[in-house]
Amino acid sequence: MSREEAIANAIQAKFHMFSGSEDKQTSADVSNVGAFQLPDPAGKAGGACTSTLLKVLNDNRGAPLSWIELLRRMRDVLREKGFSQVPQLSSSEMIDVNTPFYIVPPETKNMNGAKRAILIGINYTGQQGQLSGCHNDVANIKKYLIEKENFQEKDMLILVDDGRHHQPTRKNIMDAFERITQYSKAGDTVFIHYSGHGGNIPDKDGDEKDGYDETLIPVDFKTAGHIVDDELFVALVKKMPKDVHVTVLMDCCHSGTVLDLPYNVNATESKMHDNLGFDMGLLDENALMCCALLALCFAPDIISSLLGGLFD
């Protein structure tokens, strides 16, 4: 079986993930997203990646836009605002980046498929590295999905550390991913948004080209640890049912390959290519056990040693 056949056999859903920075880069916050001219933006602060994506989509007013055009316009906006981050697109399949971008695939619009979203915003209130715009990012993405993509609020699970929504703990985030894989079926559309801190930790299984695993940092990271990219791949990517269309927006540091998808392209390139750091071993059925052990390697007893470089 070829590499492409093995990937297609193991990853049966269609994943497209946007991230605001390469694995080696940190992300950026904006003190006032009004500078991005979003329609009625929630709050002042926000993530540069979320704000930039929404600005490009709103400015385009529903006109056709290719995947690579979207990335390049995002980079242009970021550079105009003084940011150096390079937007990325990762995918579960090799796509022609000159074809039209979509969140809801055109071919599913008459199939009555469900539209569901998981929106995660973590400000880490009262903790080291507190942020101020992640709740606003969730509100702005929610508004866009409802008004432009016809999502329903009742079909959105919102995890925000504001005392009103479900807390974005490690368990709640992983449970949300488990639930979305259980509920989804062919023809459905899923949108997942994460705005918060991202990290990188030394790779323990030798599958990362740069020597680091990328992570998401839940609100209770001090006691529960990181969520490692290998875990995300096995729990979310591999378990999502066949022909579910999933768009993911990761607005955090070191997020270029945080879902460990097999193909990628960035805003400076012209076509998608193999992710040379993709671990074919993750396609094995024993990967879930390996990932569980990996998570234990970064349990709370060693978190304190990582805090110095955690909040880049």
Active site residues: 197, 253
Q: What is the DSSP string of 233-253?
A: IIIIITTSPTT-EEEEEEEST
- Distance, CA of 12 to CA of 101 (rounded, Å): 20
Partners of residue 18 on adjacent β-strands = 89, 249
Cβ-based burial of 273 (10 A; exposed 0-12, middle 13-18, buried ≥19): exposed
Q: What is the DSSP string of 70-118?
A: HHHHHHHHHHHTT-----EEEESS---TTSBP-SS-GGGTTTT--EEEE
- Distance, CA of 17 to CA of 265 (rounded, Å): 11
CA count, 13 A, side-chain hemisphere, 275: 28
Q: What is the DSSP string of 136-158?
A: HHHHHHHHHHHHHS---GGGEEE
